Amino acid sequence: MNFDFSDDLQQVRSEARAFLKEHAAGSSRRALEAGHGFDQPLWARIAQLGWVGAAIPEEYGGSGLGDEGLCVLAEEIGHSLAATPFASSAYLASQAVLRFGSAAQRAKYLPGLADGSLTGCFALAEGGGSPRAGAVRAVFHDGAVTGEKLPVIDGGVADIAVVAVRDGAEVTLALVPLADVAVTRTPLDTLDPSRDAARLVFTNARAEVLPGAVGFAAVEHVLDRAAVFFAFEQVGGAQACLDMARDFALQRQAFGRQIGSFQAIKHKLAEVYVAIELARSNAYYGAWALGADAPDLTSAAAAARVAATHAFELASAENIQTHGGMGFTWEYDCHLYYRRAKHLSLAIGAAPYWKDRLIGFIEQRNAA
């Protein structure tokens, strides 16, 4: 039994943590104050380090750290609150091209995605409602996409989008270059201004289908894989909140003692710890399932996603609560995590979607 990351990846983790501590400190704050959710210099450095291409094979210019490597980096990105399109480009767009692109498409797009010269995003939602085939109305026809996607995270800063479209009766994925007059990008204000989001309108925009993406199952597969990476990012964010709350509880005095000596605070933070550990363990299993392409990837990913969503939401809310009034101010960083937690919760299907998908998968498996 070896249910842990390798020594090499532990080394990657500690180097990533040290790098982000130095270069990502205040990244989210700066993006928030500047009013655009993109820390371009940080993104360039991260790409240079080969992180975006962690799960991209070396033959396509990736660093070949594999899925587990991307999991480790995702956790550190989550911990640092970096304001970059890491998730959109590495967990979603790159994975979609890698899994469903033709050999020519992989050779054309993956090296750029890996070295950061291309930034990708994933355009699925068309307004409200959880991911489902019936909600995909954008159309691919004659080499072009027409339709509207909203919200598209990082849609304002990405170079290419992987877009869920309808090709005849069947859902598929199309790759659309965004620097095209046929694509209108309108910035959207969101809960987390330290991350970019846009409304994308495609009017006969030049596109190419990813030929391996047949049916809505392809979309679900991209979501399953991304859910594990998102879970690690969420666990990282949750752990940062717990660390912050613990440090504050040790330093803040009230009623003549450290507030961390009150059981009301101790037990609250113990509960947060428990939620994080359950999420971390589920995420580990998801990492294994990704690497092994396990038949239970869907349940592994859904469980990781549900647990991590709960952990980060709980940890970020209780971090504010532990800080009291100061935690509610613009100046303290608590709200950056609180915002990011909800941003990540809603990014690729919210908890109710994943819970339903989890139980549906188990029912199907038991019936088989």
Q: How far apart are CA 125 and CA 138, in angstroms?
A: 10
Which of 13, 23, 45, 246 is the binder for other proteins (CB under 8 A)? Answer: 246
Please report the DSSP string for 35-66 in residue order. Answer: TSS--HHHHHHHHHTT-TTTTS-GGGT----H
Please, which of residues 31-70 interact with other proteins by CB under 8 A? 68
Distances, alpha carbon 328 to alpha carbons 244, 252, 323, in Å? 14, 16, 8
- Length of the chain equals 368
Please report the DSSP string for 66-93 in residue order. Answer: HHHHHHHHHHHHHHHT--SSHIIIIIII
User: With binding defined as CB under 8 A, does residue 151 bind other proteins?
Assistant: no
Name which of 181 and 367 has its Cβ closer to other proteins: 367
Contact window for other proteins (CB under 8 A) among 55-63, 84-92, 105-113, 252-260: 252-260
User: With binding defined as CB under 8 A, does residue 250 bind other proteins?
Assistant: yes
Name which of 3 and 330 has its Cβ closer to other proteins: 3
Please, which of residues 264-323 interact with other proteins by CB under 8 A? 265-267, 269-271, 273-274, 277-279, 281-282, 284-285, 287-288, 291, 299, 302-303, 306-307, 310
Which of 102, 184, 203, 258 is the binder for other proteins (CB under 8 A)? Answer: 258
Q: How far apart are CA 96 and CA 340, in angstroms?
A: 24
Query: Measured from the CB of residue 122, what is the shortest distance to other proteins in angstroms?
Result: 24
User: With binding defined as CB under 8 A, does residue 261 bind other proteins?
Assistant: yes
Distances, alpha carbon 290 to alpha carbons 63, 91, 287, in Å? 17, 12, 5
User: With binding defined as CB under 8 A, does residue 117 bind other proteins?
Assistant: no
DSSP designation for 128: S
Let me know if 23 is exposed, middle or buried by CB neighbors in 10 A (0-12, 13-18, 19+). middle
User: With binding defined as CB under 8 A, does residue 222 bind other proteins?
Assistant: no
Q: Which residues bind other proteins (CB under 8 A)?
A: 1-5, 68, 242, 246, 249-250, 257-258, 260-261, 263, 265-267, 269-271, 273-274, 277-279, 281-282, 284-285, 287-288, 291, 299, 302-303, 306-307, 310, 352, 354-356, 358-359, 362-363, 366
